[in-house]
Structure 1
Amino acid sequence: MTRWKRQGFFSRKKALQYQKNSLLLSSRRKAEQIAEEHGFSSSSERAVERTEQEQSDSDIPEPDSGDINVSLNDIPNSRYDVSWREGRQVVELGVLADGLAGCAKCCIPLHLTHTVDILHCGLGAFLRVMCQNTTCKHKNIVPTGKRHGRIWDANTKLAAGSSKSMEQDMVISMVKKKLEKGINISTVICDEDTTTMSRLRQNVSHSITKMSDKNHIKKNFTSTLYSLKTKHKSLTTRVIRYFLKCFNYLLAQNKENPSGIEQGLDALGKHPFGNHSSCDKTWCAHVDDPTKKYSSLPYGKPLQDEKLQEEVMSICSRLKQNSSNLSRLGSTQGNESFNKSVSLKAPKNHHFSGSGSLNYRLAASVAEKNSGQKYLVEVNKKIGLSPGKHTKKLCYLRESQSRKRRAIARTREAKRRRIELKAKKCQGTATREIREGPTYESGIDLCTEKPDYIQIPPPSFKPELETVPICDQTLVFFDLETTGLARTSHITQLAAVHGNETFSTYVMPDIPITPSASDITGLEVRNGILYHHGKKVNTLSISVALDSFFSFLEKFSNVILVGHNIKTFDCPVLLEALESCRMIPKLTETVKGFLDTRILFKTVHPNLHSYSQQSLAKTLLNMSYNAHDALDDVLMLQSLVNKVEFSEIDHNCSTFSCQYACDIFNYQKLIHKNLPSLQCLIDQNVISLGMAKKIAGSGLDFSCLNLACKRNQDGIYALFTEKSLNCKFVRVTNSKRILDSVNEFFMSLNES
């Protein structure tokens, strides 16, 4: 390795240049030292001559001892510019250190205090640093951070941290600029989260007053109540909303009335707890009728938590100290509206802040805010361009649409709709929190108690009936014989027919055949052999029998299975067997839907005494047959349907899709699973059997209801009134009587 590389230089030229500059600097220092030690030496004998700029600097008079705050910018003809010291910049120390390591021409180290100019680029900047070598005087460009192309990393990748530290500087800068333009600013609307006003009065003017933002005041009040929620179980989300409603009312009714604000805050700490000494008759009906129920509080009764009342009174007493500010509140919604307009023209996912179009996009937002959508036409006219027929038409259309939206937004119906949507959103969030339990909470994993990780199932709703048109479909008649009348019975015989093609097979059940079923069907099992009316029959396993059944159905296209009373019996039994063999997907692929002839005959012949298949054959065909043999049943059913006239509408009303059959099957299974745990509620007359089935079908059992009540006092209300995705139905019920009854049962259970 060559000598200059070992010394750390990139090239021999740089090494020689460094040696030359080092000699010049050493000779200059030596000459200056001689000049200081021998004041009698003439300026012509000095080794280094000063430049004209240095001579002008040497003529600067020294300030008096009292002028200790003199800035270099205040000195005339100064070569220093310290404006780069003002404001805040994002600086990457590594990049800045590399930039100051040496001059680009002479390699002499640079110093930050020798900066003469700055070029701001968003959160990044270029510093112009002058080299102090008298023979160089090169102005080096030093960046304060990394860049990718022309884009600064600080402008695109700075996602961490808070912008609150820059908010104060921005407000001060904006106010100063407005004052320079002759615009007088007397009041600033801002929140309570920063020290902006104190800095504004210190740096700009003490006469500027502050007006609080009403939305931030309401949010701070709500946040304070939510912070008390963990200490007081009675302070539920429902109660907090009631407090907020009262607080909003007292602010709206007492504008420019500080004494009214104080009186309202006194009432706010007493009214929800049954004390109406500070209430006014104009808004409190309890003054005339103390027994009147509270429409927005649990059970319509006042709150009884004395400690909570002390906390609320403490909050109200602190707010009373600022009653004058609360009586004159402003709003920053105009700013938020303008921010939305800017975000539409300069979205954050496109880095327009690093391009030259940002100023134009911002100017377009300002013009739209001031002049409306027609600003584009005026801009085109200003620069001498024809706006164009279609541009004018579109601008006027957008302007009329905007006016219409603003007019609608001010109506009572629109405001009510916004409140309803907000309440729906809040209810959805509260319900999800109750169902999921505490999933994110400070220090939850360090808690010594066992965490509540049980999740309440999401809502399940009874499926809606979905019919199937039978036009151009193949009707295949089928019937089952089973071990009993239960929906979980096993199949003992399966038969189907279409035209002259028939299918029939016997199945060996895994459970015993009930005596009543054996008397009806003539089937019985003795020593592992199935007999039909005393005759031995060949049997198949259920999986093989179902495979054979599907092989028969695959001969036809667009199959609809037709049976008598199949909606309530045959379909659940068939689906139970298919589920045990994991063949339900094969059913949905092969079969389009089902047709229940019992429903069909009830529609066409509504006044018959009986709708059993035997009775229909006797009444309509004057025929009798060997009933409860699956093959004979389907042959007779085919004859009934073919010989009796039905319209297509009658047919369609009796059908249901294969997907509906699967959904209702799963719904019934859910009821069968959860209903036994709710039996204690039925026995104590808390709910009826029908309501218990509805609760079980929604996916809730006793443990879920008890857990919801433990997590939140309004947990039962939130779960029962949770809405479906299409918002047509609630999960269980909206009945206040049932809600109160179930909630009181679990509240007393947990207290004991």
Structure 2
Amino acid sequence: MTQKYRSRARNLLHLGSTQANENFNQMVSSKAPKARHYGGSSSLMNRVSATVLQKNEGHSYLAKDLESIPDPIKLQNFNDFVTFDLETTGFGYCDITQIAASVGSSKYQSYVYPRCQISVEATKVTGMSHSIATNKLYLHGKEVQGKCIRTALLDFIDFLKEKDQPILVGHNIASFDVPILSRLLKEFGLHREFVRIVPAYIDTLKVARKVFSKEEVNGCYKQCNLVEVYLNIKYDAHVAVEDVNSLQQLFTVKLKDKCTDEDVYSITCKSCKESYTDVIKNKIVSKVICEKLSKDGIALQHLQLANRRDPNGLRVILREHGVPFKKCEDLARKIQEE
């Protein structure tokens, strides 16, 4: 039987293992034993959440979580602007097929073996296809060598470690690339290290909408159109390495000088926003203020921690992050009442 697989050993090398899933199941069962009926109690979600934290952060997750409160993010704190792009298997819950990044003459590019089928639509857009049977990856029908997702992420982190106070720069990354990247980093227990190295990003789509009028770009803010209009360059869009190279030129020539602190977002912005869901729903605080705090990586738990340490310190933190005085007082009072 083994002879059948020996000839395919190289192709099977990056298919991964179920060991991580089995380990996670054991961790869940240690906190919610099957012999006890936690399914009907309100504690089950907390037990599963604690397991996820232990899986992602290790046994010290309780000490690590919220150990410090982020300072306001300032553009002047960053030196290397790393243009960055992902190509994926599709939309929604998808896997990465390409990672590319560029800063100056330094480049990073990896093809990635996905763990799910590449959609027909994604293949049409990116030219990437994948044979699950042979674990071979193709670009426009030509085989390319890839890496497993974890290896590609580790290599990307190593690339970023060499940079001087880096910040990610990408087009439409706030709603697409960053959430996907963050989810996969968390899955492989790499998110905390990544955020320590690269705490923030700039979405050039948002900057372009601020800088360029609709008339100038014919109502189209797609990266390929902006590059053609302002740089007179046509390129192979949706090939990650081509995207980052062209975006680097566009950003350097047309957008970098127009960026301000308002264009810089924490990598954790999306998860911070989610932490405010209930307080927004219950009209304890406005969505605008929550977005302002989330932009700097301030989650509701950070505010609660600050209040436990020093109620007056909570007000100072809110004012540091641009919350108007009256709103600051109202929010502080409501958090203290919770």
- TM-score normalised per structure 1: 0.28
Paired with 1:727 and 1:456, the residues of 2 have a C-alpha distance of 31
CA change 1:470–1:512 in 2 (3 A) is farther
Q: C-alpha root-mean-square deviation of aligned residues, in Å?
A: 3.5
CA change 1:567–1:456 in 2 (3 A) is same
Q: 1:655 aligns with which of 264, 269, 273?
A: 264
Instruction: Give the Å deviation of 1:525.
Output: 0.9
Q: 2:118 maps to which residue?
A: 513
Paired with 2:179 and 2:210, the residues of 1 have a C-alpha distance of 23
* 1:162-311 correspondence runs (5 A): none
Aligned length: 224
1:616 aligns with 2:226: yes
Paired with 2:119 and 2:187, the residues of 1 have a C-alpha distance of 21
* 1:26-65 correspondence runs (5 A): none
Q: 1:366 maps to which residue?
A: none
Instruction: Give the Å deviation of 1:663.
Output: 2.5
> What CA deviation, in whole Å up to 9, does each residue of 1:431-468 have, x standing for no partner?
xxxxxxxxxxxxxxxxxxxxx9636999xxxxx99643
The letter for the 1-side match of 2:263 is S
Q: 1:546 aligns with which of 130, 133, 153?
A: 153
CA change 1:556–1:465 in 2 (3 A) is closer
Q: 1:479 maps to which residue?
A: 85
Instruction: Give the Å deviation of 1:564.
Output: 0.6
Q: 2:253 maps to which residue?
A: 643
CA contact (8 A) 1:530 1:536 kept: yes
Q: 1:558 maps to which residue?
A: 165
CA contact (8 A) 2:207 2:255 kept: no
Q: 2:99 maps to which residue?
A: 494
Q: 2:238 aligns with which of 616, 624, 628?
A: 628
Q: 1:468 maps to which residue?
A: 74
Instruction: Give the Å deviation of 1:653.
Output: 2.0
CA contact (8 A) 1:491 1:507 kept: yes
Paired with 2:127 and 2:336, the residues of 1 have a C-alpha distance of 47
* SS of residue paired to 2:272: helix
Q: 2:318 maps to which residue?
A: none
Instruction: Give the Å deviation of 1:651.
Output: 3.4
Q: 2:59 maps to which residue?
A: none
Paired with 1:518 and 1:455, the residues of 2 have a C-alpha distance of 43
Paired with 1:484 and 1:466, the residues of 2 have a C-alpha distance of 34
CA change 1:501–1:558 in 2 (3 A) is same
Paired with 1:456 and 1:500, the residues of 2 have a C-alpha distance of 51
Q: 1:142 maps to which residue?
A: none
CA contact (8 A) 1:493 1:504 kept: yes
Structure 1: any 5+ residue segments left out of the alignment? Answer: 1-451, 459-463, 672-689, 691-697, 699-723, 732-752
Paired with 2:220 and 2:71, the residues of 1 have a C-alpha distance of 25
CA contact (8 A) 2:87 2:240 kept: yes
Instruction: Give the Å deviation of 1:729.
Output: 8.4
Q: 1:504 maps to which residue?
A: 109
Paired with 1:532 and 1:520, the residues of 2 have a C-alpha distance of 11
Q: Of the two, which has the highest radius of gyration?
A: 1
* SS of residue paired to 2:117: coil
Instruction: Give the Å deviation of 1:560.
Output: 0.3
Which of the pair has the greater relative contact order for Cα pairs under 8 Å at 6+ separation?
2
Instruction: Give the Å deviation of 1:658.
Output: 2.9
CA change 1:642–1:726 in 2 (3 A) is same
Paired with 1:571 and 1:497, the residues of 2 have a C-alpha distance of 16
* SS of residue paired to 2:260: helix
Paired with 2:119 and 2:172, the residues of 1 have a C-alpha distance of 21
The letter for the 2-side match of 1:513 is I
Structure 2: any 5+ residue segments left out of the alignment? Answer: 1-39, 47-69, 279-286, 288-299, 301-329
1:454 aligns with 2:42: yes
* 1:47-446 correspondence runs (5 A): none
* SS of residue paired to 1:726: helix
Q: 1:240 maps to which residue?
A: none
Paired with 2:144 and 2:44, the residues of 1 have a C-alpha distance of 50
CA contact (8 A) 1:477 1:498 kept: yes
Instruction: Give the Å deviation of 1:557.
Output: 2.1
Q: 1:21 maps to which residue?
A: none
CA change 1:629–1:453 in 2 (3 A) is closer
CA change 1:576–1:645 in 2 (3 A) is closer
Instruction: Give the Å deviation of 1:576.
Output: 1.0
CA contact (8 A) 2:77 2:165 kept: no
CA change 1:484–1:529 in 2 (3 A) is same
CA change 1:492–1:652 in 2 (3 A) is same
Q: 1:532 maps to which residue?
A: 139
CA change 1:548–1:568 in 2 (3 A) is same
CA change 1:517–1:727 in 2 (3 A) is farther
The letter for the 2-side match of 1:581 is F
Q: 1:583 maps to which residue?
A: 190
Instruction: Give the Å deviation of 1:727.
Output: 4.0
> How much identity, in percent, do the aligned residues show?
30
CA contact (8 A) 2:95 2:116 kept: yes
Instruction: Give the Å deviation of 1:601.
Output: 0.8
CA contact (8 A) 1:593 1:657 kept: yes
Instruction: Give the Å deviation of 1:654.
Output: 1.5
CA contact (8 A) 2:208 2:255 kept: no
Instruction: Give the Å deviation of 1:662.
Output: 4.6
Paired with 1:472 and 1:593, the residues of 2 have a C-alpha distance of 9
Paired with 2:211 and 2:263, the residues of 1 have a C-alpha distance of 11
